A and B are shown apart, each in its own frame.
Chain A
Amino acid sequence: MSRRRAGEITRILAVARKDVLVEARSRANFAAVVAFSALVLVLFGFALGPDEAALTQAAAGVLWITVIFSSVLAFQRAYLLELEDGALDALLLYAGDRRSIFFGKVLGGLAFVFAVEIVVVPMAGVLYGLPVLSALGRLLPLLALGTVGIVALGTFYAGMASRVRAREVLLPLLLFPMLAPLVIAAVKGTHVALVGDPIAAGVNWVGLLAGFDAIFLAAAYLLFGAVVED
């Protein structure tokens, strides 16, 4: 009558699959986040334009800020669905490493944010006059690695912030300072890829991002157990 123990990979994938499924079945949410991102792009356009040269120069920064704002919405959702009916308790009752829950949620979050980016990046290309298609090869690693860092840190902090009052403010307050290195590297790298910058081109921005991701993922992995202890 005793239960079997699920392998950690199985648990990670099960959590990721469940999060994606929940998102997919509430289709309105994805559309709303995409619409929100579009609005942010447009507002920035009004704020920084109409000079196209100025827009192109600022584009990399605007793109990543938009991604961050949309991601924050994703993180809140990832935990709210667990809090709705006390599902987090049920989740914590399954035997196994609780840090796998973290990785499962990161994977689920990545799926969501990548899906948003698939729409938003071309949109930014159009609005801000960026050669997205031709620079795609250089752009993809930057997008992938930058997003991984943002989602990993966001999932970590949302595990705490979402269970506290004033959660809408607390999550950005805790998360944004930590994103500074990622923003620097991702924006500079994206700028080089899309617009060009002879001085900055020499730096391996992708490598930097990979390094940051490694540090953040390792730290979050080690510490997440204490986030959901109770």
Chain B
Amino acid sequence: MDLEVAAGESLALAGANGSGKTTLLRVAATLLRPTRGGGEVCGHDLVADADGARAHVGLLAHRSGLYEDLSPYQNLAFASRMLGLGAERRAIDAVLQRVALAAAAHERVRALSSGMRRRLALGRLLLAPPRLLLLDEPFASFDAGGLDLLESVVRETTAAGGSVLVATHDLARAGRVVDRTVWLERGRVVRPPADRRAVADVPRLVGR
């Protein structure tokens, strides 16, 4: 049995530390090559056409990946250029507004709180919303306003036909936005804790 995520579906990945949740997300994001098995994102094979897959994926990782000495505006402008959108002032301001960073738009990221940085990282994804949204342990690091924002982004993504994968320990909060939960143990999909028989060992992701 493979792991499939349908269009418009959101999925939580649960499991202990080291069960492979982050690895799975990084493979899906094309940051890691799968050593065994394979996968597809929106019809693009993760190994043969990694670049094609990359165009449809957005990852909110454990580390934000921001440039500390630049401002939120500059970070977003860079991302915007790399996404092929140019550096349109209005679009960037709109995103900054949405993530409630308009006031701090031109300060150094170094000076921002961690909650603000996470919102900025999320904002970077909002510049060009991806078809497959990957969130790695998001609930731990956002402040209250950020969490609401996160939930609405997940809902928007699925409403527009995209898919969401959330790796998390916080199943209560995840339960509010996901359709189903998949359990991982040591890199394999297993049944929920009540029944620990291994079901499959090769994850295969399809988002339509």
A→B interface (CB under 8 Å): 1-7, 10-11, 13-15, 17-18, 21-22, 25-26, 81, 84-97, 229-230
Interface of B is mostly: loop
- Whether, in the assembled complex, B74 has its beta carbon less than 8 Å from a beta carbon of chain A, the answer is yes
A19 to chain B, nearest CB (A): 9
Residues of chain A contacted by B56 (CB below 8 angstroms)? 2-3
Residue from A25, A93, A96 in contact with B69 in the complex, judged by beta carbons closer than 8 Å: A25
**A18 CA to B108 CA in the complex, in Å?**
14
Q: Are A2 and B131 in touch, CB under 8 angstroms?
A: yes
Closest to B51 in A: A95
Pair A81/B55 contact, Cβ less than 8 Å: no
A92 to B56 CA separation, bound complex (whole angstroms):
14
A-B pairs with lowest CB-CB distance, top 6: A90-B65, A86-B63, A6-B84, A14-B81, A4-B84, A95-B55
Q: Mark B183-201, 1 if CB is under 8 A from A, else 0.
A: 0000000000000000000
Residue pair B84, A87 in contact (C-beta under 8 Å):
no
List of B residues within 8 angstroms of A15 by Cβ:
82
B46 at the A/B interface (Cβ < 8 Å)? no
Judge whether B64 and A85 touch: CB under 8 Å. yes
B85 located at the interface, meaning its Cβ lies under 8 Å from any Cβ of chain A in the complex: yes
Interfacial chain A residues near B59, Cβ < 8 Å: 89, 93
Give the residues from 96 to 155 in chain B that come closer than 8 angstroms, CB to CB, to chain A: 108, 124, 128-131
Please give, as numbers and ranges, the residues of chain A lying within 8 Å of B32 by CB-CB distance: 230
Which listed residue, B57, B62, B70, B83, touches A21 by the CB 8 Å rule?
A: B70
9 A-B residue pairings within 8 Å (CB atoms)? A3-B55, A6-B84, A17-B78, A17-B81, A85-B63, A85-B65, A87-B66, A89-B63, A97-B51
Q: Which residues of B contact A89 (CB under 8 A)?
A: 31, 59, 61, 63, 65
Cross-interface CB contact of A84 among B61, B68, B78, cutoff 8 Å: B68
Whether B160 lies near A6 (C-beta < 8 A) is: no
